[in-house]
Chain A
Amino acid sequence: MKSVMRIISRYLVSAVGVALILLAVNFVVFFIYMFQLNSIEQVEYPVSQIAEGLTIQNGAYQLSDTTEKIIEGNYQWAMLLDDAGKVIWSLNLPAEIPQKFTVPEVASFSRWYLDDYPVYVWRRPDGLFVLGGRVDSVWKYNIEYQMVVFDKIFIWIPLVLLINTLLAFAIALVFGLRLYHSLKPLAGGIRDMSEKKAVKLSTKGLLGELAAGINKASAHLVEQDIALDKRDNARTKWIAAISHDIRTPLSLVMGYASELESNTELPTAEREQAGIIRRQSQRIKTLVNDLNLASKLEYDKQPLRLSPVSLPGLVRKISADFLNGMMDERYTINVEIDENTQDETITGDEELLTRAVSNLITNSMQHNPKGCVIQINLVKEAPFISLSVIDDGVGFTEEQCRSLNQPTEDTDLPYSGLGLTIVRQIINAHGGKVKFSNRTAGGCEVLLSLPLYLGQANCE
């Protein structure tokens, strides 16, 4: 919804801007035009200059040739009145113009017209110079304002602009709001679509076609989602079914192999071979279990049974179990639990977390058949608890590190077993992060960061 508001406000600003720019352009063009027009008529040949073209030589008035040409080119006639109002010199004076003027007559034509001729006057020491233009060539208007208007010019021009701005803004706002109301459901629809909700917008009105398009896209997405979910479900179920069905035949293989292995009547070589069959079928069992769990975790079909879990207790229990039963002298486990972590519990699925940590220990043992020291550290770094499993063995290859840290969607099968993939899946399902790395001193380090409170990591 924010983006719609932003669109509308930008629209308002641009509408007001357009109005103001148009206003300004109009003003400028108008003034430039006026200025240029006046300069043609008056700046080049102002009446004062023309008046100066008339001089007294040897007691008689003489008009220079250039001035005469100007008068004849741009005007029609000219005359000079003395102080008494009598014409003492004239050029092309029409017959209807009288030879003597009274004061009221002079006062009248000096501002307006003289017998429809537009008239310009200039005061000379010897009288009044009168220049007559062609009839209908000039529209004369006597401008007169109250001084108060000019005093306030710096107030009213901005005021007019301001009122115009406000008006433009108001009009734009009305149109903008209408646009906003028609865009709002569309924006909501797009948002819902991104949240994978089904969208059904009204297709009436100006933006009906857009709404119909969004509806269609949403329907497609929902369909696709259902299809994908169905496929994931089918895949998970398929793997679950296989891993179920393989158990009974595998029981028979494992059972009889184990019986043969412990049958003292058989030669040693045969018993050893039976032992190999037994061990390999146990590997198949692990693989099948891992495959089933990995597929469930991958497609979110493994529900987490959440309860408070004490990680220190969990780490100690797993380590003790390994040391008590499954390990020989080649391997050592050192556990270091930070004092501030002793009392911490997190919300999690105890069995899955146990599986994750056990997988890491098993991984270290599997890749270091000559033995290694496994170090488990537990430190609280609020809002996370960091659990690292470190060994001094052969470490990961670069390729392994990369594929474990950046699993791509359609990744190839993991390099060896699903153990570490499951670790990542379990920790991710708990809202945590996993980092696989090699240590400069040799060996590998797997760092699990688990949020102290589930869901907290997602809120960040």
Chain B
Amino acid sequence: METIFDCKILIVDDEPELCRMVTDILQREGFRHVLSASNCREARQSLTKDRPDCVILDVTLPDGDGFMLLREMRADSSAPVLFLSARDEDQNRLLGLGLGADDYITKPFLPLELILRLKAVLNRTYFPLEQTGPQERIFYLGETQIDLESGTITRNDGEQITLTAKEFAFIEKLYENTGKIVTIENLCHAAWGDNVYRYENSLMVHIRRLREKIEADPSAPRYLLTVRGLGYKLVGVTKK
């Protein structure tokens, strides 16, 4: 298959109207192969005959439940599974995810949410490289180029500076969430692997060094901003 739209998607839900709506939504989005089943028996037939690339599964089915079906399916298939369930209790969500489901969406849902999550799962499973192409890993803050592939900063005057491991972890996390606040906990987690607060002083030191490398005036930052009490955010990112 060339793109995620070539994926064969099976919808299992006992409510025919819902099956039709999801099919409509997916087809309008561009998915070419959308199948549906209204119970476990039909789903099993389709699984063996059509070999779908992804399954959208309801938990409550007339002749069994989605959890059971997922367990059976996992015996000979690793196709991603999204639960689409009316059960919103945490234990159901955790059970589904624990069984190896790739996502758990509770009804009622917005079509856009379903599509975004489905695409994310399909991209992750079938096109993992496309998401983080090499050109995505290079960006500019004003005239300063940051290359996350090599972990280097190239300044306006051509000077190249290497990022330390921690600085790299911070700038990568902030870049992934460009324009958004990244909390102190999240940054510490990216660098140290846990979110204990006592690293905050260390974090401040690393951020100051990072600013010295990327900001023209580190005491009046334009790109790496402090959000008092919460964390930091990266703004003014451009790509050339």
Taking Cβ atoms with an 8 Å cutoff, the residues of A that contact B are: 243-245, 247-248, 250-256, 258-259, 278, 281-282, 285, 289, 292, 305, 310, 312-313, 316-317, 319-320, 323-325, 334-337, 342-343, 351
Contact = CB atoms under 8 A, between A and B. Distances in A.
A352 B126 CA distance: 36
Contact of A258 (B112, B229, B230): B112
Contact of A255 (B109, B180, B196): B109
Contact of A248 (B15, B181, B183): B15
Contacts of B111: 255, 258-259
A285 B106 CA distance: 11
A336 B229 CA distance: 6
B21 A248 contact: no
Contact of A313 (B15, B110, B181, B197): B197
A254 B109 contact: yes
In the complex, the 3 A-B pairs of residues with the closest C-beta atoms, listed nearest first: A335-B229, A247-B86, A247-B107
Interface string B34-55: 0000000000000000000000
B17 interface: yes
17 contacts: A243-B88, A247-B86, A248-B15, A251-B21, A252-B21, A254-B110, A255-B108, A255-B109, A258-B111, A282-B110, A292-B88, A316-B230, A319-B181, A320-B230, A324-B177, A335-B230, A342-B200
B109 A251 contact: yes
Contact of A320 (B28, B88, B112, B182): B182
A320 B108 contact: no
Contacts of A244: 86-88
Nearest to B17: A252
Given A282-B108, A316-B184, A323-B230, 20 more contacts: A243-B88, A247-B88, A248-B107, A248-B108, A251-B109, A253-B108, A254-B109, A259-B28, A292-B88, A305-B90, A310-B185, A310-B195, A317-B183, A320-B182, A320-B183, A320-B227, A320-B231, A324-B181, A325-B180, A336-B229
A316 B109 contact: no
Contact of A247 (B108, B185, B186, B196): B108
Contacts of B110: 254-255, 258, 278, 282
Contact of A251 (B107, B112, B197): B107
B24 interface: yes
Nearest to B14: A248
B230 A254 contact: no
B86 A248 contact: yes
B18 interface: yes
A251 B13 CA distance: 12
A278 B197 CA distance: 41
Interface in B97-118: 106-112
A310 B109 contact: no
B106 A247 contact: yes
Contact of A252 (B18, B112, B196): B18
A319 B108 contact: no
